[in-house]
Amino acid sequence: MGEKLIGRPESDKRSGMDFQDLVDTPQKVKTLAGTVVFLVAFPIYFEALPSLIDDDLGGGGSSGLSGSLQVSFEEASTTLTESVTLGDGQSHDSFFDLMIEAELSIGYVQLQISCFDNDEAGPGFTDSVDGETDLSDIEGVDDQTADGDCSGGGNGGFTMRWDVTEGYTGESYLEQNMTEKEIREFWNDGGMGRGAWIATITADIEAVPVPIAGEAIDDDEDFDITWTAVSYNLIIETSEVSTQA
């Protein structure tokens, strides 16, 4: 009978020998270390790749374009108009629900109330209108009040305006000091101005105490209400104008 060897199972011996074969020379050690580094770095690289691509597409890394830059605004208007007839002391609530595309910013919102009192017998009997807003649903803007006469010569009523983006005019200009990133941060509404804009107007009717024969008594007035929101897409391009004197 043959003698039996006492020790580790053959499978264990083979496993040990297999690993030993991987590290029995300096070249094999280097190869194994490189493989481990690649397996660790490979998923990290692809996790960071989208942000690297976004920076490149933004133009020149995190700051974007720099130097002499042409800044312009591509505008779009959202308008709501309505007409109402009010007697003395009567009020009307006007609602303007403003929602715009996420990539756009709001430059300003304007409310115009127009009226034209041309049916009175003489001066001193001109109708007028008062207005006040309720902007509790809107972030970043304040309520306003206004009033105006419904002058017979036209241009009667009043206008309210809110600059949602501070200082917005819509005029193009050349920028030489700020980077693209800084410009985009400057011309940004911060997500403000979205929601329900509400205004209440109240009529003040001035009728002659004694009607003139053959003329109707003026006991109401027509009002035109116009809401306008101007939004914009910011465009920044490298200018061909040299910044050198």
pLDDT of residue 175 exceeding 50, the answer is yes
Q: What is the mean pLDDT of the chain?
A: 81
CB 208 within 8 A of CB 121: yes
We find that the CATH architecture of domain 69-238 is Sandwich (2.60)
Q: Which among 203, 201, 221, 99 has a CA at the least distance from the CA of 160?
A: 201
pLDDT of residue 5 exceeding 80, the answer is no
Tens of pLDDT, residue by residue over 15-37, are: 445 656 655 676 655 665 666 55
Cα dihedral sign, 21-27-33-34: negative
CB 68 within 8 A of CB 180: no
Write the DSSP string, the chain.
-PPPPPSS-HHHHHHHHHHHHHSSSHHHHHHHHHHHHHHHHHHHHHHHHHHHHHHHHTSSGGG---SSEEEEEEEEEEEEEEEEEEETT-EEEEEEEE---TT-EEEEEEEEEEE-----SSTT---EEEEEEE-TTSTT----EEEEE--TTS-EEEEEEE-SSTT-----EEESSS-HHHHHHHS--TT-S-EEEEEEEEEE----SSPPTT-----EEEEEEEEEEEEEEEEEEE-SS----
pLDDT at 61: 52
pLDDT of residue 57 exceeding 50, the answer is no
pLDDT at 43: 62
- 103-107, 219-223, 234-238, 239-243 — which is least confidently predicted? 239-243
**Residue range(s) of every CATH 2.60.120.380 domain in the chain:** 69-238
pLDDT at 63: 81
pLDDT at 15: 46
pLDDT at 52: 47
